[in-house]
Structures are given as structure tokens and as C-alpha cells.
Amino acid sequence: MINNIQLNKSNFDELSKSCVIKNGTIIDPHNEKEYLSDIKIINGIISEINESITTGPDDLIIDAKGKYISPGFMDMHVHLREPGYEQAETLITGSNAAMSGGFTRLALMPNTTPCVDNIFVYNDICRRTENLLVNIHQIPAVTVGREGKSLVEMAELNDNGALAFSDDGDGIQSSEAMKGALQYSGMFNVPILVHEEDKTFLDGVMNESFVSTELGMSGIPNIAESSMIARDIEISRYVDGYPHFQHISTQESVKLIREAKKEGLKVSSEVTPHHFSLTDEKVKTFSTDYKMNPPLRTQEDVDEILKGLQDGTIDVIASDHAPHTPEKKNVEFDYAPFGVLGLETLFSVGVTYLVNTNVLSLVEYLKKITINPRKILNLDYDLINVGKMAELTIFDISSEWKVDRRKLLSKSLNTCYHDETLDGQVQVVINNSKIYKR
């Protein structure tokens, strides 16, 4: 197996003091505008947005002809495995993968070893991620050790910049713990990001469906997810908390969240690219690249998810980037860990399966990977303005590329799009006075 050679080297450069992006089309999801314009950046700050900016000899010129300039993408559901499982990914290799996928901002899940359940681990990760092109927001756990019992010191973590809390891979089983978490976090108006799964159902390795029947595999039924979403909608109504439903995968989940939103409850949701582009039929290959939790579901589930993306039930597309080493993945299906890569393919899978199939317009699609995650996490989302830090992603919507797992910048290889040709490719990413070029 070939891993990335530049294992722990950041792949960005410092941005020149003065730089001009020429001839590109600005696409601004917040103001729903699309227009031809140049952008001048001085010391990392947008200093001018104009149709034709004259350039001097000292200006770095980035030619964006035929390309779009968007607010930098944000992925609010990522596992970078540091500390504890650096064989699979590190903060540096993961942020390289993020840049390559067009992301300027990530929210990291706390299922590391040690777990991010206190201010000391939290601060350490913040310190390790200073001075990168990508802004990294570590999400602390909801409960100590992600055990679903005692709440972490949320107020202190919130004071120190924590944007939300999540026990991620471990759905919070105790209703009392979830009630407490939603009530307590509601004080600072931050969401609880929830992986919804009732673990009192039997353990499964794939979707429970006709396919699991044919393959003789143990299944995870749709209701393991949707029944917990129903519970947490009820709890949030009762305590006035804010659950954000992570990586929803079932038609029932979409319908429950749609109704909760109609009622005016404070809820939001995300979906991963694999849950809107693939079905459990893929498991027939027995490839562990299709083993993830929640599992790939049926075409009926995918169809409802696409409706949910269209009508706004689903706010965000997030990768659930979950690197695993080949040693861990290249084993019998039952023994392999759950999880697939996502950072480097998310944008293109969305273009291929949502924009180019007319499920979403480009601007509606970009909302779900730029401004919506920032809104949920209370970050600035009106980014394309003079005086703002230049946090931009330049991409070519018409170019296509073939995914080769060996060429990804992630330290791991477990993508479920290997060898697939995808549309749309990120070219340049600018943030924090730094630049990444493909």
C-alpha cells in the first residue's frame, strides 16, 4: 500500500502581500449572487471587489477565467484521528486533504484518544492547529469519555471557543443525559451534534434490508436512527435545546425533521455524500470501503434524502471523513471498523450527484457546504466583502477527474469512490494569508 509521501508536511504557501484574482465568476451563496469580478487581496484581507482591477508588478495574479470563486467550504463533521490514531490521519495530513477538497474550515469530532472532554485536551488541539491555512474548530464531547453519563464542563469550553458539543459515534443512549445536554447547552445557544442510533438493537454491520438478507449479514434497521431522532425532537421541544442531526440516512429521519422544522423547532441536519449517492447494493462487493455507520441504505431512502436537500430539511452536506489504515480495513467485513474518507471527494460528489443531475442549483448546493454550517455553529457567513479575511475557494465546475486512492492527500486509502470519474474540481484555496494550489 502506498501512503502519501509528504506525510506530515503542510501543502500550502504564504500568500503574497498583494494578490489579484482575475477574470473569475464570484458566486455568493449568502446574497444569492453570481457575477464576473476581480478580487484584490492585501495582507490576506479583501481590499477590493471590482469588474476590472489593474495589477502592478508586485501583485501575484491568479487567473480564474472560467472558474467560480466561492466562500471557502466548511465541513462540520470530520475525524482527523489526532491524538491517538495518527497511523490513519494527523491534523496536518487531514488539513492537507481538506485544502485539496476546497475546505477552509473544519469541525473535528472528539472521538480521539484521549477523548476531548476537558479544557486541557481541547486547548492542546487548538494549539496544534494554529498557523494552518484551514481553520480548525475542535468540537468537545457532550459527556465525559463519551460514555453518555456526566456532562463535560460545557460552560468553560464554550467560553474558550467551543462551537458545539458532540458524542459523535456513540449516540447518547440515556434520555436523561440527552435532556440534560440539550438543556445545559441551550443556555449558550450552541447545538448538540448528534449521531442518532439506538444501540439496544442488535449490532449490525450493514443496512437491514433485502440486501442484508441475501448476504446473510446482520442489519442495522432504519428505526435505530429514526426512533432516536423522534425522541430527541420530543426532548428538544420540552427543554428548548438545539439538536443538530448528524449524517442522517433514512427516509423516516427526513420526514421527522421536516415536520419538526414546520413546527418551528430549533433543529437542523446534515447528510454525507455517500448517503445521497450510493445504496446498500454496493455491499454485495463485500468491500469494506462500503462499511460505515450509519450504513448505506436503499434507493427509497436516497430519494427522500434528495427531497430533503431540495426542500431545506437537510441544511448541510458534511463528509464524516473517517480515515482507517489499510491494515484495519483489509479484513473480513464483520471485523472491519466503520468509516470512509470524504474530504477530498465531497465537493465533486455533490457536483456530480446533485448539481449536474439538477437536484440542486449550484448556489443552493454551495449554501450547504459554505454558509449553512457556519450559521449552525454561529460563525461569520457573509464572507465575500471588502474588509473581510479572504477565505475563498476557486473551483472549475466543468473539469472531471478520476479518483485514485493512492493520490489522495489523506494518510488513509478508504474511499468509496476509487476509480470513479467525478465532475468539478477545486483549483485554489485561500485563507489566513495562505494559499493552496492544486
Residues with catalytic roles: 320
Q: Residue 286 CB, nearest distance to other proteins (Å)?
A: 3
DSSP run (H or E) holding 107: strand 103-108
How far apart (Å, rounded) are the C-alpha atoms in residues 287 and 208? 17
Please tell me what DSSP assigns to residue 414.
-
**Of 176 and 334, CB closest to other proteins:** 334
Q: Which residue in 4, 143, 212, 313 binds other proteins (CB under 8 A)?
A: 212
Closest of 191, 178, 205 to residue 294, by C-alpha: 205
Q: Residue 430 CB, nearest distance to other proteins (Å)?
A: 43
Site membership for other proteins, residue 171 (CB under 8 A): no
How far apart (Å, rounded) are the C-alpha atoms in residues 117 and 151? 9
Residue type, 398: S
Percent of residues in the chain assigned helix, strand, coil, to nearest 5: 30, 25, 45
Site membership for other proteins, residue 219 (CB under 8 A): yes
Q: Residue 323 CB, nearest distance to other proteins (Å)?
A: 19
How far apart (Å, rounded) are the C-alpha atoms in residues 192 and 25? 36
**Of 23 and 87, CB closest to other proteins:** 87
**Of 204 and 312, CB closest to other proteins:** 204
- Spatial neighbors of 346 by CB under 8 A, at least 6 apart, are 73, 75, 101, 273, 317, 318, 319, 369
Q: Residue 216 CB, nearest distance to other proteins (Å)?
A: 3
Q: Which residue in 118, 183, 333, 356 binds other proteins (CB under 8 A)?
A: 333
Q: Which residue in 335, 357, 380, 385 binds other proteins (CB under 8 A)?
A: 335
**Of 213 and 299, CB closest to other proteins:** 213
Q: Answer whether 81's CB lies under 8 Å from 125's CB.
A: no
- Spatial neighbors of 198 by CB under 8 A, at least 6 apart, are 171, 173, 223, 224, 225, 227, 228
Q: What sign has the CA pseudo-torsion 296, 298, 299, 300? A: negative
Which of positions 273-292 make contact with other proteins (CB under 8 A)?
286
- The three-class DSSP label of residue 247 is coil
Q: Which residue in 331, 378, 380, 402 binds other proteins (CB under 8 A)?
A: 331
Q: Residue 223 CB, nearest distance to other proteins (Å)?
A: 12
Scanning 126-134, 148-156, 210-218, 382-390 for contacts with other proteins by CB under 8 A, the matching segment is: 210-218
Burial of 222 (0-12, 13-18, 19+ CB in 10 A): buried
Which of positions 49-88 make contact with other proteins (CB under 8 A)?
none
Scanning 156-164, 330-338, 339-347, 405-413 for contacts with other proteins by CB under 8 A, the matching segment is: 330-338
**Of 195 and 328, CB closest to other proteins:** 328
**Of 85 and 122, CB closest to other proteins:** 85
DSSP run (H or E) holding 135: strand 135-138
How far apart (Å, rounded) are the C-alpha atoms in residues 267 and 253? 12
| Three cell numbers, residue 259 | 415536520
Q: Residue 169 CB, nearest distance to other proteins (Å)?
A: 22
**Of 2 and 5, CB closest to other proteins:** 2
Q: Residue 297 CB, nearest distance to other proteins (Å)?
A: 13
Q: Answer whether 375's CB lies under 8 Å from 366's CB.
A: no
What are the beta bridge partners of residue 22? 63
Site membership for other proteins, residue 199 (CB under 8 A): no
Binding mask 14-33 for other proteins (x = CB under 8 A): --------------------
Site membership for other proteins, residue 238 (CB under 8 A): no
Gyration radius (Cα) of the chain, Å: 21
**Of 137 and 324, CB closest to other proteins:** 324
Site membership for other proteins, residue 299 (CB under 8 A): no
From residue 371, give the alpha-carbon distance in Å to each of 28, 61, 377, 379.
Answer: 10, 27, 10, 9
Scanning 27-35, 41-49, 161-169, 209-217 for contacts with other proteins by CB under 8 A, the matching segment is: 209-217
Q: Which residue in 216, 262, 264, 419 binds other proteins (CB under 8 A)?
A: 216
Residue type, 212: S
| Three cell numbers, residue 290 | 462500503
How many other C-beta atoms can be found within 10 angstroms of the C-beta atom of residue 334? 11
Site membership for other proteins, residue 215 (CB under 8 A): yes
DSSP run (H or E) holding 128: helix 119-128
**Of 9 and 406, CB closest to other proteins:** 406
Scanning 183-191, 273-281, 323-331, 430-438 for contacts with other proteins by CB under 8 A, the matching segment is: 323-331
Which of positions 126-155 make contact with other proteins (CB under 8 A)?
none
Which residues bind to other proteins, rule: CB under 8 A? Answer: 208-210, 212-217, 219, 221, 286, 327, 330-335
